[in-house]
Amino acid sequence: MLLRNLFIAFLVTVSITTAQAAPQWLSLPPTPTLPKAAQSGFAPVNGIKVWYAVFGRGQPVLLLHGGLANANYWGHQVRALQRHYQVIVMESRGHGRSSRNQEPYGYDSMASDVIGLLDHLKIRQAAIVGWSDGAIIGLDIAMKHPERVSRLFAFAANSDPSGVADIASSDVFNAYIARAGEEYKRLSSTPTEYKGFVAEITKMWESQPKWTASDLATIKVPTWIVDGDHDEAIKRENTEFMAASIPGAGLLIQPEVSHFSFLQDPEQFNDDVLRFLARGRQVRSNGEVRGSQAGRSGLVPP
């Protein structure tokens, strides 16, 4: 009887613990590490040094991280993608191991850095997977340098500062900002300047980007606009606006994840990226790449 009662108590405890566990969209899993790179280093670009690493072989896929972050955040994605593609990660100017100059932060200049790295690596064209600021940089490149982008998976971007939600009360986002500060101290050549770095990046966020429907309509690259259904930082109406404004774009809302989907449910995120990239291999008889307007529940044509 004693063992039976202890077993029942154990089951009740497990049940209560499970019921009280926070949903994954309220979690911030650890920052992963990158696997061993085939090539890494610093590329001299636009008067700065851009840190990059290359993994795997095949068609090139470039991963662009979000604001305040570094390339390590892509660890789960690199491991999934390097089996099929040549995967390139880089760190935006002033982020991670990359240096910066006195030029104010701006998406145009960071997009120019990406083009400079591709030139350095002698990569004519790459698919881009971007998160947050990285997705905005991808959209900038798709507008201004479409010949350099084969496909664009834009996760958690905004087209205008008004599309950003108030994150001040978000425990997850506040934890991310604090974590990014510790990572900045470990990686940056200016480890004591995180506070000033955040202040300067915030100025950019408050004024950029400023894209209209007409601006977005110039994008002809096959594009998916993607976000999590519990994104703390991006307003859903702005996500839907972007997908509706880009010709032929798909809208994918990933379930039960937030702005940090690629950490919270990397299997789901990776599957979506791989499915999107695989569409690039489907060509019509005339050789043109097919559009990307269909998929599982949550992918809504404009």
Question: How many Cα atoms sit within 13 Å of 226 on the Cβ side?
Answer: 31
295: pLDDT strictly greater than 50: no
Give the model's pLDDT for residue 21. Answer: 82
Give the model's pLDDT for residue 6. Answer: 38
Do 52 and 88 touch, CB atoms closer than 8 A?
A: yes
Give the model's pLDDT for residue 142. Answer: 98
248: pLDDT strictly greater than 90: yes
- pLDDT (tens digit per residue) in 14-68: 333 334 589 999 999 999 999 999 999 999 999 999 999 999 999 999 999 999 9
Give the model's pLDDT for residue 79. Answer: 98
Give the model's pLDDT for residue 20. Answer: 54
287: pLDDT strictly greater than 90: no
Give the Cβ contact number of residue 142 at 10 Å.
Answer: 25
What is the band of 111 on the pLDDT scale with cuts at 50, 70, 90? very high
Which range among 16-20, 22-26, 84-88, 131-135 shows the weakest confidence by mean pLDDT?
16-20
Residue 83 DSSP class:
T
What is the band of 282 on the pLDDT scale with cuts at 50, 70, 90? low
Mean pLDDT of the chain: 90
Distance CA 34, CA 39 (A): 12
Which are the contacts of 54, defined by CB distance < 8 A and separation ≥ 6? 37, 38, 39, 40, 86, 87, 88, 121
Q: Which of 152-164 are b and which e, b meaning 16 or more Cβ less than 10 Å from the residue's Cβ?
A: bbbbbbbbeeebe
155: pLDDT strictly greater than 90: yes
- pLDDT (tens digit per residue) in 167-216: 999 999 999 999 999 999 999 999 999 999 999 999 999 999 999 999 99
- Residue owning tokens 């997705």: 135
Strand order in the sheet with 39-45: 39-45, 48-55, 86-90, 60-64, 126-131, 149-155, 223-228, 250-254, 299-300
| pTM, 2 dp | 0.89
Cα–Cα distances in Å, from 14 out to 8, 19, 24?
A: 10, 8, 18
Mean pLDDT in residue range 91-120? 98
Do 28 and 257 touch, CB atoms closer than 8 A?
A: no
Give the Cβ contact number of residue 56 at 10 Å.
Answer: 19
